[in-house]
């Protein structure tokens, strides 16, 4: 169990000329090994950053070079070739083969020249085979816990908060929601803790989101332009989008992404709209007095999200908020089917592997707003193969599906509209659809010039002049949902 750790003369430590980073190449000598390590300019840039970090902080005390002895009294590095390359270039920047970075390596060399280590502590193993088990364990993930388990975003955020003494914007938003159960529901409080804190920070730290939610950052603390009950509905809606509509950090990564994300929040939930509505209610209740401009707003002296007595802040006593509860009924951010990211986010149990693949694409790959054409065509296919699979299963079970118009057995040659209506009627007779649901689905499928009819869906496949609208597609999928849930319970 005892490790063989030695301090080895730096000049005796060599790069691995058979390094897996070289792909199929084998370096013929040490200079060529360095050349291969620096072959990609991006790799060179990263090794420069590593070298500069070594200059500032020294070698990582949590890592040792893993080496094996060779036949010439040297030691070959099996693990840590990037670190060794950085050290070689700090010792001799003339080895840099990327001219663009030579000056940077030379500057780092001059800074560390008098402190350059003559010996390096290394962990020595007898052979490559002895080292391979540890190298593979390090570079192939968690391996059920035997490998390295990286910090998730919440742990990294907690670490930064401890180091700086200031909570991130995402953590502050979490705490505001958690500490105000009189405004945020238990579901929302639970939901926000399922969203990575870095995702919340990426959204709420942006100027565009701050304008949308009527918040601002002062002295690294999030503050509100209006009372929290006015700002809460739009925040709730955003939380629901992350937790229940398929959105994630990739949807708020840059300003254009955030703009598209925020556009899903209904205008009637915006703080500006709700504030104006509160003024109108004040006019009505006061017999023509609109109230002071500060009513419904935060005190300008308010010092942070924790609030102070009487300031109407997130942590204040709700009974002391400036907005009269009688004049400011609570606005709840109800989910909107049109805000969802994917067309079919619902859980369906589909044993057929091919149909399940189509379903998975609709549920988690095809973003309706980004690829409405592909989504519409795929949904049409999903409807047809679902009806076909149901027809086959019922036939095999001795409970065949019959056409609704002539009572003949339904076949795969029948038109899709006939299949949908006939399957809906069969599901109704089996008690799996209500009469109202069956009627609505049948009317939708068989209609002419009706959004979501089979004729309409066919246009997306054959017509060059009928592009689908994402909002309409979402409405259509909602109407067919009862049938899909009945087919795939």
Q: What is the pLDDT of residues 227-272, one digit of tens each?
A: 999 999 999 999 999 998 889 999 999 999 999 999 999 999 999 9
Extract the tokens encoding 347.
Answer: 């859980």
Question: What is the pLDDT confidence band of residue 467, given thresholds at 50, 70 and 90?
Answer: confident
Cα dihedral 39, 41, 44, 48, rounded to 10, equals: 160
For 330, counting Cβ atoms within 10 Å of its Cβ (0-12 exposed, 13-18 middle, 19+ buried), the class is exposed
- pLDDT given for residue 217 in this prediction: 93
Q: Would the pLDDT of 296 be above 90?
A: no
Indicate the SS3 state at residue 242: helix
Are 433 and 483 spatial neighbours (Cβ–Cβ below 8 Å)?
yes
Question: What is the pLDDT confidence band of residue 151, given thresholds at 50, 70 and 90?
Answer: confident
Q: What is the pLDDT of residues 195-219, one digit of tens each?
A: 999 999 999 999 999 999 999 999 8
Q: What is the pLDDT of residues 379-422, one digit of tens each?
A: 999 999 999 999 999 999 999 999 999 999 999 899 999 999 99
Q: Write a three-state SS string for 123-156.
A: EECCCHHHHHHHHHHHHCCCHHHCCCCCCCHHHH
Pick the CATH number of 342-487 from 1.20.120, 2.120.10, 1.10.10, 1.10.3470: 1.20.120
Strands (E), 206-291: 215-218, 221-224
| Residue 7 parent element (H or E) | strand 5-9
The rounded percent of the chain whose pLDDT value lies above 90 is 68
Are 480 and 423 spatial neighbours (Cβ–Cβ below 8 Å)?
no
- pLDDT given for residue 287 in this prediction: 58
Return d(Cα 162, Cα 188) in angstroms, integer: 26
- Average pLDDT over all residues of the chain: 87
Q: What is the pLDDT of residues 79-105, one digit of tens each?
A: 999 999 999 999 999 999 999 999 999
Distance of CA 183 to the CA centre of its chain: 26
Q: Is the pTM of this model over 0.75?
A: no
Extract the tokens encoding 414.
Answer: 């029948």
Q: Would the pLDDT of 275 be above 90?
A: yes
Return d(Cα 145, Cα 30) in angstroms, integer: 36
| Domain residue ranges of the chain, discontinuous segments joined by + | 5-145, 167-320, 342-487
């Amino acid at each position: 169990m005892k490790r063989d750790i030695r301090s080895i003369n730096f000049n005796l430590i060599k790069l691995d000329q058979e390094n897996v980073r070289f792909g199929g190449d084998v370096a013929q000598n040490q200079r060529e090994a360095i050349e291969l390590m620096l072959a990609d300019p991006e790799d060179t840039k990263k090794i420069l950053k590593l070298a500069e970090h070594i200059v500032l902080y020294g070698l990582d005390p949590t890592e040792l070079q893993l080496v094996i002895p060779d036949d010439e009294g040297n030691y070959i590095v099996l693990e840590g070739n990037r670190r060794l390359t950085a050290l070689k270039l700090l010792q001799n920047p003339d080895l840099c083969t990327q001219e663009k970075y030579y000056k940077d390596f030379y500057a780092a060399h001059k800074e560390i020249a008098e402190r350059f280590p003559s010996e390096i502590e290394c962990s020595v193993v007898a052979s490559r085979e002895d080292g391979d088990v540890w190298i593979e364990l390090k570079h192939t993930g968690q391996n059920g816990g035997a490998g390295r388990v990286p910090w998730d975003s919440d742990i990294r955020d907690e670490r930064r908060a401890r180091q700086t003494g200031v909570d991130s914007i995402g953590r502050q938003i979490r705490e505001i929601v958690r500490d105000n159960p009189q405004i945020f529901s238990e579901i929302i409080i639970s939901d926000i803790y399922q969203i990575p804190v870095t995702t919340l920070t990426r959204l709420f730290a942006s100027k565009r989101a701050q304008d949308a939610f009527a918040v601002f950052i002062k002295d690294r603390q999030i503050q509100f332009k209006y009372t929290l009950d006015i700002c809460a509905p739009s925040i709730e809606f955003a939380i629901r989008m992350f937790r229940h509509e398929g959105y994630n950090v990739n949807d708020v990564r840059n300003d254009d992404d955030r703009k598209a994300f925020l556009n899903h929040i209904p205008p009637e939930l915006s703080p500006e709209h709700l504030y104006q509505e509160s003024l109108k209610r004040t006019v009505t209740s006061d017999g023509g007095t609109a109230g002071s401009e500060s009513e419904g707003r935060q005190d300008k002296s308010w010092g942070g999200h924790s609030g102070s007595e009487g300031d109407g802040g997130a942590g204040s006593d709700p009974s002391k908020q400036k907005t009269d509860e009688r004049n400011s009924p609570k606005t709840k951010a109800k989910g909107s089917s049109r805000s969802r990211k994917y067309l079919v986010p619902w859980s369906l149990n589909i044993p057929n592997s091919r149909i399940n693949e189509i379903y998975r694409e609709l549920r988690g790959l095809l973003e309706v707003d980004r690829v409405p054409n592909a989504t519409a065509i795929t949904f049409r296919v999903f409807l047809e193969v679902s009806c076909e699979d149901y027809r086959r299963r019922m036939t095999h079970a001795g409970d065949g599906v019959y056409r609704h118009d002539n009572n003949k057995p339904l076949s795969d040659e029948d038109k899709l509209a006939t299949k949908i209506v006939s399957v809906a009627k069969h599901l109704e007779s089996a008690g799996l659809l209500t009469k109202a649901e069956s009627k609505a689905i049948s009317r939708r499928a068989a209609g002419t010039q009706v959004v979501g009819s089979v004729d309409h869906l066919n246009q997306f496949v054959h017509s060059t002049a009928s592009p689908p609208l994402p909002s309409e597609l979402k409405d259509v999928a909602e109407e067919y949902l009862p049938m899909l849930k009945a087919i795939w319970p």
